Structure 1
Amino acid sequence: MQRALALARGVRGQVWPNPPVGCVVVRDGLVLAEAATHPGGRPHAERAALEQAVDAAGATLYVTLEPCCHWGRTPPCTDAIIAAGIRRVVCAIRDPDPRVNGGGFARLQDAGIELSAGLCAREAAQVMSGFFHRVRTGRPELSLLDAPARSAPEGVDALLKTVDGRLAVRPAGRPAQTLPGGGTPDAAGLLTELGGMGLTSIAVPAGDPVAAILRPFAGAGAAGQGAVPEPGRTRSSPTG
């Protein structure tokens, strides 16, 4: 699981709107394949790892987040796991997305796959803190930088800054986007708008006018297992 967590950490800031997930497939003590969520959020880590493995029948799959069980832009990862003949799944933490939220676990168990959940859950929640925060609040996790910046720090989805009196979002590795409107923004409304774009984490450079407005929201994120939303208390998610 530590290797899966390392893979997930390595793609933070690159895979929104989806969470950074790591997956390792092991059989008889040998690693058959490993992968993380690809840039842009697809393919998911489990599907990418299983596509690498020539034969994963009877193997154990370690993954940092509950496999998805719904159809989005890609088929469910649970279906790929079942089709590959995986014997056992070891998962760090439940996916709070209301489209999953325990459904992936149930699908695997119904297929006769042995399931173990909770290994390194707190570490996994920290790696995916922005995703968990967005699911819980509808807003991305916010950090205020100590210095000016031209691009998003490593591991952060996007930089938010004021350019010629307008707010601009500069995602890592993607084109910048100027937000509509002007004047003094409503902090909660602005963050909700950014969450609706799929962003899970943003940073604001020091000295930017919007920093003072957003300051009350800085540092609020999912720091551990207790941040996982309970069923019925989550928000709709733009992930797929």
Structure 2
Amino acid sequence: MHRAIELARQCPPSSTAYSVGAVIVVDGVEISTGYSRETDEKVHAEESALNKLDADDPRLARATIYSTLEPCSTRATATRLPCTDRILAAGIPRVVIAWREPSLFVAACEGVDKLRTNGVEVVELTDLAEAARSMNDHLDLS
């Protein structure tokens, strides 16, 4: 998660989106990383990390994705698949997050619930939530 937090600090600031970092790990080895707005102004961290791998990469069935923020369940950009759906489609069995998405940009994020309902193990590292939120201090998260 510390690596994901470092990546989130690389995000170009935005008043309309969170700064998030993501790392995909298999057997303790980092296989892909991403961060919000890494390749374009609409790309999410998990999306960016997954885009760097083949969709049918067999390692994904053993992977853990670390994301500083709960994966989105709804996108403001209707042409893009929510990150929760991308994770499910990739077959990633474990997701580790630092904090849940507040209702600033969407009424209610249901990423954790949707992942768990579909058999994905979700671990929340709440002790790292403040560090993962810190690069989003410019947003009104109250």
Distance 1:94 1:101 in 2: 10
Distance 2:137 2:108 in 1: 16
Partner of 2:115 in structure 1? 108
Change (3 A) 1:12 1:48: same
1:80 has 2:80 as partner: no
5 Å matches for 1:222-237?
A: none
Identity of aligned residues (%): 36
The answer to which of 118-127 and 93-102 deviates more is 93-102
Partner of 2:9 in structure 1? 9
Query: Does the Cα contact within 8 Å between 1:90 and 1:119 map onto a contact in 2?
Result: no
Query: Does the Cα contact within 8 Å between 2:7 and 2:22 map onto a contact in 1?
Result: yes
Instruction: Give SS of 1:82's match.
Output: helix
Aligned-pair distance for 1:12? 4.1
5 Å matches for 1:189-208?
A: none
Segments of 5+ residues of structure 2 without an aligned counterpart are none
Instruction: Give SS of 1:17's match.
Output: coil
Partner of 1:60 in structure 2? 64
Aligned-pair distance for 1:64? 0.4
Distance 1:100 1:27 in 2: 33
Partner of 1:126 in structure 2? 134
Distance 2:41 2:99 in 1: 18
Letter in 2 for 1:47: E
Distance 1:36 1:100 in 2: 23
Aligned-pair distance for 1:16? 4.1
Partner of 1:71 in structure 2? 75
- For each residue in 1:144-179, what CA deviation from the matched residue of structure 2 results, as whole angstroms up to 9, or x when unmatched? xxxxxxxxxxxxxxxxxxxxxxxxxxxxxxxxxxxx
C-alpha RMSD of matched pairs (Å): 1.8
- For each residue in 1:124-159, what CA deviation from the matched residue of structure 2 results, as whole angstroms up to 9, or x when unmatched? 12122223x2x53xxxxxxxxxxxxxxxxxxxxxxx
Partner of 2:20 in structure 1? 21
Instruction: Give SS of 2:102's match.
Output: coil
Distance 1:57 1:100 in 2: 31
Change (3 A) 1:86 1:95: same
Segments of 5+ residues of structure 1 without an aligned counterpart are 137-240
Q: TM-score, normalised by structure 2?
A: 0.85
Aligned-pair distance for 1:51? 1.2
Distance 2:127 2:41 in 1: 24
Letter in 2 for 1:34: T
- For each residue in 1:192-240, what CA deviation from the matched residue of structure 2 results, as whole angstroms up to 9, or x when unmatched? xxxxxxxxxxxxxxxxxxxxxxxxxxxxxxxxxxxxxxxxxxxxxxxxx
Instruction: Give SS of 1:127's match.
Output: helix
Change (3 A) 1:129 1:68: same
Query: Does the Cα contact within 8 Å between 2:69 and 2:101 map onto a contact in 1?
Result: yes
Aligned-pair distance for 1:42? 1.5
Distance 1:41 1:65 in 2: 18
